[in-house]
Structure 1
Amino acid sequence: MTTPVRRRDAAATRKALLDAARRRFAADGYASTSVRDIASDAGVNVALISRYFESKEGLFRACLRGTVDEIKQSVLENLPLTDPPRQIAEKLAGPQTKEPHRLQLLLRTSGDETAERIRRETLESISRRVATAAGADPDDPGVLLNAQVVLSAALGVLILRSAALQPLAAADQDQLTEPLRVMIAALLPG
């Protein structure tokens, strides 16, 4: 009698590794997270991390890239915008992320120089995208500074909403859009 061969599902394995890594990196930080822990959480062999991501660093990059993609899709999609401050504000005030640990990846210091560089580059990329979405020049240092202030405020809103801080957490999209629009218009007039 032959043992049935279990088919591999590369996409499911990759997703399981990414989900486990996001949770571990967010909870424990880059330096304290081992690839063995991630593989164990995902229920796969540790060698698959090298196969799909080359290294722990590659896996971390993939996690951050996924976070950036989520932000782009939820906040900065459909460019160019006709009324950038209002449209960006509406997106920021909309439904919260389903996976708050993704956001924590962008904010948690890791103690690892390489991970910190990747994180900074990711945040700068998002800031540049915010400036571009607002119709401003992301190569202008003053504009980039203002875009980073907008990003800081947006991240703060997401964090405080996820912490259930009232009345912010209970505010709906209409209540949040106008104050965010005013802030964005003042900082990034385009």
Structure 2
Amino acid sequence: MTETKRPRRSTEGGYARGEETRLRIIHAAIELFGEHGFVAASTRDIAARAGVNAPALQYYFENKEGVYRACAEHLADDVWTKFEPVVLRSAATLESTDNVAALIEAFVDIQNVMIDKALGTPSAPTLKLFFVREQGGQEPSIATEIFQERVRGPLNRVATQLIAKIGGTAPDDPLTIIRLVTLHGQFMLFHTAPRSLLTLLKWPSLDAEKIEFVKQTIFTNTRTLLSTWACERDAGR
């Protein structure tokens, strides 16, 4: 797949209109890729939903692979704006201190942002389906590669480094990675299977008050586990 083709415009006004058209196509494509998957979503349908003619799609993106790449880049850039500040804060903590309590709070800070993004930010069902299909491995690998490079990789690196420093393991140790998955797994089902959990909890919905309750419960669990792993590290010295 080639890099996404960018529009060339001779005037500022024309460029602005071109970017608006380009974003309309991207948003329409995210919806259709979510609804039908990459193979079934046609460029003709994407263009129709975006309200443009088919040649316009080719002009901006060359082909369907280019549209899909642009969708992944757009989503990665959007998500990274939420995560970049906490990644930078956590990296600074790693460099500046060995204090276990500070390191634990840096990890909780990461979880706080992740939970807010997963549970507190409304998103269209088709957007969730886009990620579900991408994670299922049936879509072109370029989206996973982009998300890994721009979002998941930086976020997971700093998170595993925190756990490793707290627990006295290596960042690439399978134990460290499993610990990361375990800690984040506390809230992932609220994002991926909310209906089942709401039924189990007998909650009609997940409002702001309940999200805060979930967050504080998870933070307590996380602090307890990380403190336990730090004690195990000290006991093994």
So what's the TM-score if we normalise by structure 2?
0.60
Q: 1:133 to 1:99 in 2, by over 3 A?
A: farther
Aligned partner of 1:121 in structure 2 is: 145
1:159 to 192, 199, 202: 192
Aligned partner of 2:129 in structure 1 is: 104
Q: Does the CA contact (< 8 Å) of 2:34 and 2:133 recur in 1?
A: yes
Q: Give the alignment of 1:19-168 within 5 angstroms.
A: 19-78=27-86, 79-81=88-90, 82=93, 83-94=105-116, 95-108=120-133, 115-122=139-146, 124-125=148-149, 126-134=151-159, 136=161, 140=172, 142=174, 143-144=176-177, 147=180, 155-161=188-194, 165=198, 167=203
Output one character per residue of 1:3-56: Cα deviation in whole Å (capped at 9) or x when no partner.
xxxx78111101110110010000000010000000000110112222222221
CA distance in 1, matches of 2:187, 2:122: 12
> What's the offset of the Cα at 1:155?
4.6
Output one character per residue of 1:79-102: Cα deviation in whole Å (capped at 9) or x when no partner.
222533221222233222333432
> What's the offset of the Cα at 1:161?
4.4
Aligned residues: 182
Aligned partner of 1:169 in structure 2 is: 206
Percentage of matched positions with identical amino acids: 21
Q: Does the CA contact (< 8 Å) of 2:134 and 2:144 recur in 1?
A: no
Q: 1:183 to 1:58 in 2, by over 3 A?
A: farther
Q: Which has the higher helix share?
A: 2
> Mind listing any 5+ residue stretches in structure 1 that lack a counterpart?
1-6
So what's the TM-score if we normalise by structure 1?
0.72
> What's the offset of the Cα at 1:66?
2.2
CA distance in 2, matches of 1:127, 1:65: 13
CA distance in 1, matches of 2:148, 2:180: 9
Q: Larger relative contact order (C-alpha < 8 A, sep ≥ 6)?
A: 1
> Mind listing any 5+ residue stretches in structure 2 that lack a counterpart?
1-13, 94-104, 165-169, 231-237
3-state SS of 1:116 partner: coil
Output one character per residue of 1:126-170: Cα deviation in whole Å (capped at 9) or x when no partner.
432222342618972634555556666655322344889353723
Aligned partner of 1:4 in structure 2 is: none
Q: 1:139 to 1:164 in 2, by over 3 A?
A: closer
Q: 1:69 to 1:175 in 2, by over 3 A?
A: farther
Further displaced range: 20-29 or 118-127:
118-127
